[in-house]
């Protein structure tokens, strides 16, 4: 007769797949010993720029047991967002992950459903879902559970499907069967480092967040430093350059999540339409989008910076 942890592990992976997650891997909830000195060094070198929230909850970032009482397992989930169609090449660019509905809401709904199913089938499960919403090192956990390796561009790369994935975690108080990490397949490739328009990948596996186009166009609330003029490669919200050039993304396939489809004519907009965008149009087109994070004024600032 199978042990409960085998049964529960199979159950979780089956339901994750049913909910649309392409990959599901599981790790033991424990202290992230290898990541601790790396995170400390990254923060001490001020590579988080104005993202001061990265300094908070240092201990919780490294130990999921401080986030969920009695935590035994971290369930890592990957949801593909690679689009079937991309933007008009002449237009200011936004990251592919922002084409459709805000992923936070889409994934949280799926995770909530997953937890509800576990409570029905396992019983009294104590757990929480995390999608960029708390101090959880999602890429480290996904790597530990064998869903890919963290590449030289600091993104999680899956050998079969590339890196255009959202990562979510369930931290639960149920003991499960644990997956192990896989090897790093970056090899001698340096395409992401060579292609970064602002030289934000300062060395293999180290990204200076304060030099990243995503940081400037989303996180930075002040004016963008003039030193970076003409270095944005026409990106107005986020940046996909280090993923677009990654050889492993030749295996990317279009997602199957309807909420990630763009339901407006946004992808067909030309440069003029972007430059003339009004508050009213912004509010309508980006009502359920991650682009709302930068706000109308922020997006206008970014577009003007590209001129």
Q: 11: Cβ–Cβ under 8 A, 6 or more apart, which residues? A: 118, 121, 122
What CA–CA distances, in Å, run from 197 to 52, 82, 154, 213, 298?
Answer: 24, 22, 16, 8, 20
Beta bridge partners of 28: 73
On whether the CB atoms of residues 238 and 232 are closer than 8 A, the answer is no
Handedness of CA 203, 209, 215, 220 (dihedral sign): negative
Q: Which of 192, 96, 121, 210 is nearest to 150 (CA)?
A: 192
> How many Å apart are CA 95 and CA 43, to the nearest integer?
25
Among candidate residues 59, 90, 132, 265, the one labeled active-site is 132
Q: Could you give the count of Cα atoms lying within 13 Å of 214 in the half-sphere of its Cβ?
A: 19
Q: How far is CA 38 from the centre of its chain?
A: 19
Q: Could you give the count of Cα atoms lying within 13 Å of 126 in the half-sphere of its Cβ?
A: 8
**Residue 117: strand, helix, or coil:** helix
Task: Examine the residue annotation and report whether 132 is marked as an active-site residue of this protein.
Answer: yes
Beta bridge partners of 170: 75, 129
> How many Å apart are CA 282 and CA 302, to the nearest integer?
14
Look up residue 111 and give its two tokens.
């995770």
Q: How far is CA 40 from the centre of its chain?
A: 21
Q: 125: Cβ–Cβ under 8 A, 6 or more apart, which residues? A: 115, 118, 119, 172, 173, 174
Active site residues: 132
């Amino acid at each position: 007769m199978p042990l409960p942890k085998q049964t529960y592990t199979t159950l979780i992976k089956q339901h994750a797949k049913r909910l649309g997650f392409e990959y599901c891997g599981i790790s033991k909830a424990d202290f992230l010993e290898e990541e601790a000195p790396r995170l400390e060094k990254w923060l001490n070198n001020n590579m988080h720029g104005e993202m001061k929230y990265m300094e908070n909850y240092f201990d919780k970032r490294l130990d999921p047991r401080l986030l969920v009482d009695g935590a035994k397992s971290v369930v890592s989930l990957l949801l593909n967002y690679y689009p079937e169609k991309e933007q008009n090449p002449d237009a200011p660019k936004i990251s592919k992950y922002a084409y459709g509905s805000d992923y936070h809401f889409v994934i949280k709904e799926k995770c909530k459903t997953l937890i509800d199913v576990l409570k029905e089938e396992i019983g009294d499960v104590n757990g929480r879902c995390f999608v960029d919403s708390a101090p959880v090192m999602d890429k480290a956990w996904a790597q530990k559970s064998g869903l890919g390796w963290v590449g030289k561009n600091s993104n999680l790369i899956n050998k079969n499907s590339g890196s255009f994935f959202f990562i979510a975690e369930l931290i639960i108080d149920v003991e499960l069967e644990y997956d192990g990490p896989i090897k790093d397949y970056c090899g001698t490739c340096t395409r992401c480092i060579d292609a970064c328009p602002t030289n934000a990948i300062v060395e293999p596996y180290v990204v200076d967040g304060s030099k990243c186009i995503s940081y400037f166009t989303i996180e930075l609330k002040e004016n963008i430093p003039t030193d970076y003029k003409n270095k944005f490669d026409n990106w107005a919200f986020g940046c996909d350059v280090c993923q677009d050039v990654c050889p492993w993304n030749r295996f990317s396939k279009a997602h199957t999540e309807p909420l990630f489809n763009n339901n407006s004519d946004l992808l067909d907009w030309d440069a003029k339409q972007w430059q003339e965008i009004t508050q009213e149009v912004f509010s309508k087109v980006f009502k359920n989008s991650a682009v709302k994070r930068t706000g109308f004024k922020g997006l206008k600032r970014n577009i003007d910076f590209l001129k």
